[in-house]
Amino acid sequence: MVKVLQKIVFYTLTFPIAGYVLGGLSQLARLTCLFKVEGMENFPNESGKIMLVSNHPSMTETFILPGLFFRHYVFRPKHGPWVLAGSNLWRSPIYFLPMCVAWGRVITVLRKQKRKERSFGRATPAFDPAVKVLEDGGNIFFFPEGGRTWKREKEGKTILFSALKGRKLAKLRRGVALLASQPGVTLVPVWVEWSTRTITVGEPHTFTDVPQKEIISRIEQIFLELADKVA
């Protein structure tokens, strides 16, 4: 029943609104220079098993970045991305309706899990649905910092800085390693820098044969190097 409802929401709301309207508006914004999108040539041509991950400076990119899957919505609608979101967002009256309409396909992640469920190398119940989506050839989009950067810093979490420009990134959550290590998954990093109104798509990476404990540090380094390349 849940899958049927998800399909109804996707094809009646998400597909026309997020796919055509938001995706189209994103393309228009690029053409009118409201913001720049650089590196789109790095976006994979494959239909599925794409994992788009981004830093999270604000809520604005939450509604813009799914538009990077514009051609998937148009030409391969079943490959429109699933969005991973913290369960706390659904309690927000400000974001609840816009997220339902703009995303449609949402995988809710419980951020507070028992310590014994957080070990590397196993799919915790919170990430089981995301693993299944990737196994079935679907696409996923999420923010691996686990929240907006400034909020994570305010909570006292570890903050990393890029070497040249000192741009901030909260230490990534373990779930990104679990998902990136799935067979055939291509990770596409994105850096959002609103101070220069720039969204930069980095080169794709695969981590199938990389130990999960190494994946997080590698992805963090990829993000920080990408941050220094942005104007």
What's the confidence (pLDDT) of residue 199? 92
Residues of the chain with pLDDT under 70: 1-32, 70-78, 87-104, 111-125
- Residues 6+ away with beta carbon under 8 Å from 196: 36, 230, 231
The amino acid sitting at 122 is: R
- Indicate left, alpha or beta for 22 from its phi (over 0: left) and psi (-120 to 50: alpha): alpha
Domain total in the chain:
1
pLDDT for res 105: 72
Opening angle at CA 62, ends 57 and 66, nearest 5: 130
pLDDT, one tens digit per residue, over 40-85 is 899 888 778 999 999 999 988 887 887 777 666 666 666 778 888 7
pLDDT of residue 127: 86
Q: What is the pLDDT of residue 111?
A: 60
- Tokens of residue 162, six digits: 């890029």
Give residue 83's pLDDT: 83
Backbone angles phi, psi at 82, to 5 degrees: -90, 140
Q: Rounded distance, CA 13 to CA 5, Å? A: 11
DSSP code, position 136: T
Its domain, for residue 141, covers 2-229
Return the pLDDT at 189: 97
Q: Please report, for the domain that includes residue 7, its CATH number.
A: 3.40.1130
pLDDT of residue 123: 45
